């Protein structure tokens, strides 16, 4: 009865998906906010904290591929509800666990449950919305994970400052569990009736068999984009994961103070993702790679200079982080979203996006343990040249991809 009342229209479906994906981040980025307090309270090293993040990123990368096919087979309703409920349970267990081995194992399991979210949302939106509306709606939907990043940093940072770091995992699991139950009871995989504008097409396409020719998913151009995403993600996820810890240690901030300053990264990222696609269409005439290469190169310079620029005041730190976010997160969104759709047939864009996102989390896996090891043994100043080199590699790969594409178009 609850499903009939609550999920009857595409608008209901959109908000179900938006709230569900937003909620996942409350039990994902809470680790970044809680990590400074956890390291201090438990006596863990920065390198050990990095292994917790790498375990998550590794299982998330594997899960993106596995759960992309599972969402097609079992439907987004079951898969996304399982991801929400499973992540909530793992966060509860994490809040009571002792020892670095248990924490690494549980957070890796959380990565697998969390990876059920993106493929399920992509499949659900493809089933609910006609082709002509998906671009605009995906732009709106993308605000869900940026809002989730910001909310997780604020909520979990405040919990660490006022209660204890363990409650930063226990408390967010409660709304996640509730959302998971409501999503399972109320959401439907596709429209029950084909009565609204465009829904005949949606139902027909939802019922159509998936294409069997997978060669487009293994082209050399898609591989180059995947490597670009990995290089970009070393910095993108590195900043999201490590920024609170770096700011807490380098500026002697509390976990909450570091989280408040870090939230300007995803805030600027939301603006960057919203406008970078428009920029590539209007200024670069839908040629994505030149724009991505230029933005990545600028981001590389900013990251390299970050620890070397005298930032005496909080507003200067916030402004610099926001600028980094503007140039770093827009390219990432283009690579795993619009570029994925550009390179493969329309029917395979969801799987291509999942594969590219999996490449991204391979880079994130490297930045978890790798950045922790660098900071532990060589100090934070050693981290930023490596991050800058990774962004520069992304810029070079994208520039090479753009040149190859131009030669192909000209028949050379």
Comparison of pLDDT for 277 and 24, the residue scoring more = 24
* Coil, strand or helix at 115: coil
Find the range with the poorest average confidence among 113-117, 171-175, 358-362, 376-380: 358-362
What is the number of H-type helices and E-type strands within the chain? 19, 0
Of 238, 189, 160, nearest to 81 by C-alpha is: 189
Q: Average pLDDT, stretch 166-172?
A: 94
Instruction: Give the Cα separation of 19 and 144 in Å (integer).
Output: 7
CB neighbours of 284 closer than 8 A, spacing ≥ 6? 290, 291
Q: Within the chain, what is the greatest distance between any pair of CA atoms?
A: 64
Q: Which of 163-177, 187-201, 216-230 has the highest mean pLDDT?
A: 163-177
* Cα–Cα separations (whole angstroms), residue 191 to 125, 187, 207, 318, 398: 11, 10, 12, 44, 39
> What pLDDT is attached to residue 108?
94
- Say what the pLDDT of residue 128 is: 77
pLDDT surpasses 50 at 319: yes
- Alpha carbon distance 206, 348 (integer Å): 13
What does the radius of gyration of the chain's CA atoms come to, in whole angstroms?
21
Tens-digit pLDDT profile for residues 118-149:
888 877 877 777 655 555 566 677 778 878 88
Q: CATH topology of 1-190 equal to that of 218-406?
A: yes
Query: Cα 335 vs. chain centroid, distance in angstroms?
Result: 12
pLDDT for 81 equals: 93
- Residue 43: left if φ>0, alpha if ψ -120 to 50, beta else—which one? left
Number of Cα atoms under 13 Å in the Cβ half of residue 379: 3
Per-residue pLDDT, 22 = 94
**Per-residue 3-state assignment (H helix, E strand, C coil) for 289-346:** HHHHHHHHHHHHHHHHHHHHCCCCCHHHHHHHHHHHHHHHHHHHHHHHHHHHHHHCCH
Angle at CA of residue 169, ends 95 and 189, nearest 5° = 120
All structural domains of the chain with their residue ranges: 1-190, 218-406
Tell me the mean pLDDT in the region 249-275: 81
Cβ(50)–Cβ(373) under 8 Å? Answer: yes
pLDDT for 385 beyond 90? yes
Please give the structure tokens belonging to residue 11.
Answer: 């608008």
In this prediction, residues 286-292 reach a mean pLDDT of: 78
Distance CA 132, CA 292 (A): 25
Higher-pLDDT residue of 143 and 43 is 43
Mean of pLDDT values over 183-187: 87
Task: Domain 218-406: give its CATH code.
Answer: 1.20.1250.20
Read out DSSP for 142-177? Answer: THHHHHHHHHHHHHHHHHHHHS-TTHHHHHHHHHHH
Phi and psi angles of residue 9, each rounded to the nearest 5 degrees, phi first: -130, 160
Closest listed residue to residue 262, CA positions, set 2, 11, 31, 21: 31
Domain 1-190 adopts which CATH fold? Growth Hormone; Chain: A; (1.20.1250)
Q: Quick one: tokens of 399?
A: 């520039």
- The beta-strand segments (E) located in 93-158 are none
Whether the per-residue pLDDT at 228 is higher than 50: the answer is: yes
Res. 205: pLDDT tops 50:
no
Return the pLDDT at 13. Answer: 81
Q: Give the pLDDT of residue 134.
A: 54
What is the mean predicted confidence (pLDDT) over 29-35?
89
Task: HSE, CB side, 13 Å, CA atoms: give it for residue 390.
Answer: 26
Tokens of 356: 């590219």
Among 125-129, 148-152, 196-200, 246-250, the range scoring the smallest mean pLDDT is 196-200
DSSP 254: -
The model's pTM:
0.71
Q: How confident is the model at residue 350 (pLDDT cuts 50, 70, 90)?
A: low
Q: What is the mean pLDDT of residues 210-214?
A: 50
Rounded Cα distance, 392 and 407, in Å = 23
For 2-9, what is the mean pLDDT? 52
- Specify the range with the lowest mean pLDDT, choosing from 56-60, 110-114, 204-208, 257-261: 204-208
């Amino acid at each position: 009865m609850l499903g009939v009342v609550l999920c009857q229209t595409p608008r209901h479906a959109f908000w179900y998906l938006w709230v569900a994906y937003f909620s996942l981040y409350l039990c994902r980025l809470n680790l970044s906010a809680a990590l400074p307090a956890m390291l201090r309270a438990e006596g863990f090293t920065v390198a050990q904290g990095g292994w917790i993040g790498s375990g998550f990123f590794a299982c998330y990368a594997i899960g993106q591929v596995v759960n992309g096919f599972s969402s097609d087979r079992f439907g987004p309703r079951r898969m996304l509800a399982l991801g929400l409920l499973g992540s909530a349970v793992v966060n509860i267990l994490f809040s009571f666990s002792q020892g670095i081995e248990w924490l690494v194992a549980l957070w890796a399991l959380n990565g697998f449950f969390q990876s059920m979210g993106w493929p399920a949302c992509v499949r659900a939106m493809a089933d609910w919305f006609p082709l002509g509306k998906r671009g605009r709606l995906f732009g709106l939907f993308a605000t869900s994970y940026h809002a989730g990043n910001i909310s997780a940093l604020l909520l979990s940072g405040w919990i660490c400052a006022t209660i204890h770091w363990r409650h930063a995992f226990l408390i967010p699991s409660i709304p996640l569990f509730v959302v998971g139950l409501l999503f399972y009871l109320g959401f439907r995989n596709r429209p029950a009736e084909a009565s609204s504008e465009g829904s005949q097409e949606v139902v027909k396409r939802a019922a159509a068999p998936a294409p069997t020719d997978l060669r487009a998913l293994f082209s050399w151009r898609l591989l180059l984009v995947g490597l670009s995403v990995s290089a970009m993600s070393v910095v993108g996820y590195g900043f999201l994961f490590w920024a609170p810890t770096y700011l807490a240690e380098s500026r002697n901030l509390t976990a909450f103070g570091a989280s408040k300053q870090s939230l300007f990264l995803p805030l600027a990222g939301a603006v960057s993702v919203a406008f970078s696609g428009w920029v590539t269409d209007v200024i670069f005439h839908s040629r994505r790679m030149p724009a991505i290469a230029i933005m990545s190169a600028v981001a590389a310079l900013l990251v390299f200079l970050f620890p070397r620029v005298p930032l005496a005041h909080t507003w200067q730190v916030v402004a610099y982080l926001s600028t980094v976010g503007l140039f770093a997160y827009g390219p990432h969104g283009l690579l795993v979203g619009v570029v994925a759709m550009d390179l493969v047939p329309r029917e395979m864009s969801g799987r291509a996006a999942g594969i590219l996102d999996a490449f991204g989390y391979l880079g994130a896996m490297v930045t978890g343990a790798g950045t922790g090891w660098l900071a532990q043994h060589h100090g934070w100043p050693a981290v930023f040249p490596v991050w800058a080199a990774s962004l520069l590699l992304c810029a070079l790969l994208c520039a090479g991809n753009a040149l190859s594409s131009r030669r192909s178009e000209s028949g050379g």
